Structure 1
Amino acid sequence: MKSTFVFAAGILFTLFLSGCLPDNSCDVKPNLNVDEAQLQADIDAIESYLSENNIDAEVDPSGIRYVIHNPGDGKSPSLCKTVAVTYEGRLMSNGNVFDGTDSSVAFGLNRLITGWQVGIPLLEEGGSITLYIPSVYGYGSRGSGNAIPPNANLIFDIELKTVL
């Protein structure tokens, strides 16, 4: 009896820490607290890029721009879920590919950059999207290694394969 209680308490504690509730809802939200001046500079650069390339993108209230190519027709992920995706990430400044995979790879959505946390839940399984992510919702002023410089706006082409 005592071990059953300890096991149940452990599961509830784990769910509490992960932000996932037993009814499969999720109280985790993307962190949208950013440097507003940098966000505006990023948005201006993204708008310029979209205009120069004749891309008609939707605008998320966060400032992220996106084009849904296929909305999908399966489950839609919350931030608590693990998602299996294929993707390609490019620098907006020069188009250089810095990451990607043709094979499905799984990630906990709440462990990814804010741009993905905002964009991927716009899809259902089988859907695909291009995200135009302001640097403040990517790797910010720190960048990431040699591949992503500080304050780099990013473009991701993502296909949501499965919500796990």
Structure 2
Amino acid sequence: MHRFFKISKPGLPISAYDDLSAFKLYLIDVGLLRRLSLLDPIAVREGNRLFTEFKGALTENYILQHLIKNFEVQPRYWTSGNQAEVDFIIQMKNEIIPVEVKSDESVRSKSLSIYNGLYEPPVRIRYSLKNLKKDEGLVNIPLFLVDYTEKLLTLN
């Protein structure tokens, strides 16, 4: 199991802003999450027809597995009370990058907008089923390209 802390604000080093009283737990593998949830494997293939809420948890766990593998610093998450929650905050070199995970093509994100308004990060990431696209500092990365995140962010 992985334990990820909430940060009080996005600053460097990211670990200096850990709120040790608030954390999320994720399994080390999305397959284990599916198995422990007693979700039949066919439900993943059937998508929206069989389940809606839990596919977000599966997708977040999938993205997290890859972020851990590809980034030196463990991800964190950020909340603004009960108004907004950014799924992951990653540190890439000396940049703090907010990450939103969407399990479908519906990509509206109030949380990422609130975070952007408060901290104005130079880049934001959204993983979804939509195509690769960069628009005003927001990089939409298709779920299957998660392992190429760092490379995609360094392209101009």
Q: Do the structures match in fold with TM over 0.5?
A: no
Q: TM-score, normalised by structure 1?
A: 0.30
Which of structures 1 and 2 has the larger relative contact order (alpha carbons within 8 angstroms, sep 6+)?
1
The structure where helix makes up a greater share of residues is 2
Relative to the length of structure 2, the TM-score reads 0.31
